[in-house]
Structure 1
Amino acid sequence: MVSEPVKRLQESVAKYQATVATALERLPTGVVLTLAASLENHLRNALESHMPGLSSKLAKDLYGTGPLGTFSGKIKIARAFGILPAALAAELTKIKDIRNDFAHSEANLTFQTPDIEKQVRALEIGEQSTAKSSQEIFLKAVSLATSALIAAKKS
């Protein structure tokens, strides 16, 4: 016969294991959101390096609810001003779309989810190989995009 404290401990352990399993299943979401946020920050830095007259008040007006308030807006403005080449802007848009799917889905998306895998394999800047997983392609694409955004920053 199992004592009450041992029974409660077993129940707690079972709940903890379920929580860990859920977190591990959702891990791709955290990876995608974190890397996309980092890319967006690099894009913001690249944009701001081309704005010598940017004051904190103007930055508040441009970001937030302004034209640079979204990842999409930043991509379009950077492209319009020639800060990003068309190919990089297209890749950032694809990454943004993947990010949005992960962020707004009620389903547990993974890199093996058919629509996500299709979108990732459509990325052109990641190394494409049938031996590579979708996650590896996504990580490589984000890495290359980050390097390109760092290079786009005006010194």
Structure 2
Amino acid sequence: MSREREKTTVSIEEYEKVQTVLNALMDQLASQLPNESANRIKEIYEFRSSILGETDRGAVLMAAAFLDDKLKGLIEKRLVQDRKVRKRVFDFNGALGTFSSRIDFAYLIGVIPKNAQKDLHTIRNIRNQFAHHAAPLSYDDEKVKGLCNNLVFHGVLETADAGSKFRRSVMGLLTHVTLAFESTEAIEAHPDFSIPDRAGAYQIVSKVFTDVTGAEYPLKHEHESVGAR
């Protein structure tokens, strides 16, 4: 009888050993990246570990908040670097003050693809299910399960359970947003418009008005100072 058939359970200690090996592999991978990139990858991996010990509700709320924050950072990097205007736009009552508005805006400015936009909205809807229902709730709830089954970023078979699809989709989206952040550049602010001298046009209009009516152009005071009359 093979070892594979003999072994039907895995101990907690063995799981911890697997995690230790995976952590070492992740550290090895991160060490080959620039410091900022490595830190972002490590942050994602550490976040994954942190939600594994959470309840379904806790994991969903944490994941949505983390994705929202990372999406905000991605959008901020793409926008004109005007701190005062950005703060106003991202305030709660601002144009980009909600997770929903940030998802759509990120898609419209081309920093995330359509399928990421759809999955992010699905995760937002899953979050709302947990946030707006005080009664006990889990991934096995029919509505939650249906939403999880709509996710595509998980990369697993459709037969996988809802919780696995959710967690893996979150990790896939976080990885995608992180990679997008690396390649995104800020839009340059457009220079101020140079206001043209309209004196020539005024003189023509003023002359025509006087020639036709015999009266002084009524808006003359808007174009000539008192001393110039």
TM-score where L is the length of structure 2: 0.53
Question: CA separation in 1, counterparts of 2:155 and 2:113?
Answer: 19
- Find the counterpart in structure 2 of residue 152 from structure 1: 180
CA distance in 2, matches of 1:92, 1:104: 18
Counterparts of residues 5-154 of structure 1 (less than 5 Å): 27-55=55-83, 57-63=84-90, 64-129=92-157, 131-153=159-181, 154=184
Which structure carries more helix by proportion? 1
1:32-72 deviation line (CA, Å, top 9, x unaligned)? 000111111110111011024231x2232111211111000
Give the share of equivalent positions with the same residue, in percent.
Answer: 26
Question: Where does structure 1 lack aligned partners over 5 or more consecutive residues?
Answer: 1-25
* 1:66-113: CA deviation from partner (whole Å, max 9, x where unpaired): 111100010111111111111111111111110111111122110001
* Structure 1 residues 4-41: Cα deviation after superposition (integer angstroms, max 9, x where no partner): xxxxxxxxxxxxxxxxxxxxxx9211100001111111
Contact conserved, 1:121 with 1:128, CA < 8 A, in 2? no
Find runs of 4+ consecutive structure 1 residues off by over 6 angstroms: none
Contact 1:48 1:54 in 2 (8 A): no
Q: How many residues align?
A: 129
Alignment RMSD (CA, Å): 1.6
CA distance in 2, matches of 1:86, 1:152: 14
Please state how far the C-alpha of 1:130 moved relative to its aligned partner. 5.2
Structure 1 residues 104 and 74, CA gap change in structure 2 (3 angstroms): same
For residues 100 and 121 of structure 1, what CA distance do their matches in structure 2 show? 16
SS at match of 1:77: helix
Q: Tell me if structure 2 keeps the 8 A contact 1:72–1:96.
A: yes
- The Cα of 1:131 is off from its aligned counterpart by 4.8
